[in-house]
């Protein structure tokens, strides 16, 4: 991009180069930290079509965005979602096309995703014990997810990263096992502190909170963690283990504020542009897309204008009421 090309720069001088696109709010699992057991999902007419999402991807990349992450809900349960990857993969200027998935559908789709240009895949895995895995996901089959991880490895993505949300008394005692699992397979792993998004009903979030420092202390009993300055364009901070390719990341929205270097925005399945994960500031892109079906310039103007309302940061408070009412499945992880 030349110096004069329009770019997405906010009031604090941060350039948005990374967009997370949620393609559905639906999912085949019901993870306790993400969803309530009974969820009402969006009616189809309110969800962006795959063509509209691809169009947004094109507009974003023409404004200097280099990384797109497809997420959800579970993106791979959306019908015909491969056509979206096929449309996004060849976009000029796009350096990284990535996916966040629970892996249940990867045995079916891993090869096609690689062929469409997906470079990296993040896979959620919170437990290696079948019964616990089922309890945390409310209906998941660990064997199916492990088969998905194998399929991703066989497909040959540049990098595969596991995401583990760690909750006290649910899986905090598995952090060493999860690192061993990642090490044995040459995968990266990021531990995520639970964020207070949406009412979930399953547990008290303040009670379940397990901070990154405690995870590092637990891992320190077995491994020598070496701090690094590496980053992958996301909010995680990384450590390495001597002699291993595996990176161990920590996303700590409570303990470490990562807002000052924030380079990303999110688009919900219904086309709401969210300027910050922890705030409600948003722009209705669906309206702009549908009012200007042939005019990408109008869409790009709306994206540039939206930069003026990107907030400086968030301040999650586990005890605060009301919390952010969006669930993570509508936000896109």
Q: Which residues bind ligand SAM (CB under 6 A)?
A: 27, 33-34, 71-72, 74, 100-102, 124, 163, 165, 192, 194-195, 197, 328-329, 333
Asked if residues 71 and 329 have their Cβ atoms less than 8 Å apart, the reply is no
**Sign (positive/negative) of CA torsion 86, 268, 289, 297?**
negative
Residue 61 vs 329, nearer CB to ligand SF4: 329
Shortest gap between Cβ of 36 and ligand SAM (angstroms)? 12
Does residue 27 interact with ligand SF4 by CB under 6 A?
A: yes
Binding flags for ligand SF4, 91-110, as an x/- string (CB under 6 A) = -----------x--------
Chain centroid, CA 203 distance in Å: 22
Asked if 278 is part of the footprint of ligand SF4 (rule: CB under 6 A), the reply reads: no
Shortest Cβ distance from residue 77 to ligand SF4 (Å)? 9
Q: Which does 241 bind (CB under 5 to 8 A by kind): ligand SAM, ligand SF4, none?
A: none
Instruction: State yes or no: residue 34 binds ligand SF4 (CB under 6 A).
Output: yes
Q: Which is nearer to ligand SAM, 124 or 171 (CB)?
A: 124
Residue 33 vs 238, nearer CB to ligand SF4: 33
Nearer to ligand SF4 among residue 21 and residue 328 (C-beta):
328
Residue nearest ligand SAM by beta-carbon distance: 333
DSSP E strands in 152-295: the ranges are: 159-165, 188-192, 225-227, 237-241, 247-251, 264-267, 272-274, 282-284
167 binds ligand SF4, rule: CB under 6 A: no
Number of residues this chain uses to bind ligand SF4 (CB under 6 A): 13
Q: Please choose which of ligand SF4, ligand SAM, none residue 30 contacts, taking the beta carbon within 5 to 8 angstroms, the exact cut-off set by kind.
A: ligand SF4
In terms of DSSP H, where are the helices of 117-250? 130-137, 142-155, 175-185, 205-208, 212-220
56 to 67, 213, 292: CA distances (angstroms) = 13, 38, 12
- Minimal CA–CA distance to 59: which of 301, 329, 311? 301
Which CB sits closer to ligand SF4, 14 or 327?
A: 327
Choose between 91 and 167: whose C-beta lies nearer to ligand SF4. 167
Structure tokens at 120: 């990296």
Q: In what order do the strands lie in the sheet with 282-284?
A: 225-227, 237-241, 247-251, 188-192, 159-165, 120-124, 96-101, 67-71, 18-22, 264-267, 272-274, 282-284
Provide the minimum distance between the beta carbon of 47 and ligand SAM in the complex, in angstroms, as a whole number.
15
Site membership for ligand SF4, residue 310 (CB under 6 A): no
Identify the H or E element spanning 298. Answer: helix 296-306
Residue 30 is a binding residue for ligand SF4 (CB under 6 A): yes
Nearest to 118 by CA among 140, 142, 87, 146: 87
Q: Is the separation of the CB atoms in 29 and 140 below 8 Å?
A: yes
Residues that bind ligand SF4 (CB under 6 A): 27, 29-31, 34-35, 72-74, 102, 124, 328-329
């Amino acid at each position: 991009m030349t110096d004069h090309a329009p770019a997405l720069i906010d009031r604090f001088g941060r350039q948005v180069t990374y967009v997370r696109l949620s393609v559905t709010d639906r999912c085949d699992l019901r993870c306790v930290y993400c969803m309530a057991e009974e969820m009402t999902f969006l009616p189809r007419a309110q969800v962006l079509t795959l063509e509209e999402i691809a169009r947004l991807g094109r507009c974003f990349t023409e404004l200097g965005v280099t990384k797109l992450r497809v997420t959800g809900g579970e993106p791979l349960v959306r019908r015909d979602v491969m056509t979206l990857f096929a449309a996004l993969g060849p976009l000029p200027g796009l350096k990284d096309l990535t996916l966040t998935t629970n892996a249940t559908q990867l045995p079916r789709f891993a090869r096609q995703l690689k062929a469409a240009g997906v470079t990296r895949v993040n896979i959620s895995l919170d437990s290696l014990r079948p019964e616990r895995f089922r309890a945390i996901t409310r209906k998941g089959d660990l064997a199916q997810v492990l088969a998905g991880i194998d399929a991703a490895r066989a497909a040959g993505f540049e990098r595969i990263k596991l995401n583990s949300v760690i909750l006290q008394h649910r899986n905090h005692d598995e952090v060493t096992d999860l690192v061993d699992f990642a090490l044995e397979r040459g995968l990266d792993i990021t531990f995520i502190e639970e964020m207070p998004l949406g009412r979930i009903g399953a547990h008290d979030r303040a009670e379940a909170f397990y901070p990154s420092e405690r995870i590092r202390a637990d891992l320190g009993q077995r491994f020598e963690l070496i701090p690094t300055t590496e980053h992958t364009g996301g909010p995680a901070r990384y450590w390495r283990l001597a002699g291993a390719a595996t990176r161990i990341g920590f996303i700590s929205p409570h303990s470490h504020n990562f807002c000052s270097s924030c380079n990303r925005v999110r688009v919900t399945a219904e086309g709401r542009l969210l300027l910050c994960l922890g705030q409600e500031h948003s722009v209705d892109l669906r309206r702009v897309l549908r009012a200007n079906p042939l005019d990408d310039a109008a869409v790009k103007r709306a994206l540039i204008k939206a930069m003026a309302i990107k907030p400086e940061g968030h301040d999650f408070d586990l005890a605060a009421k009301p919390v952010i009412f969006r669930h993570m499945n509508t936000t896109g992880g």
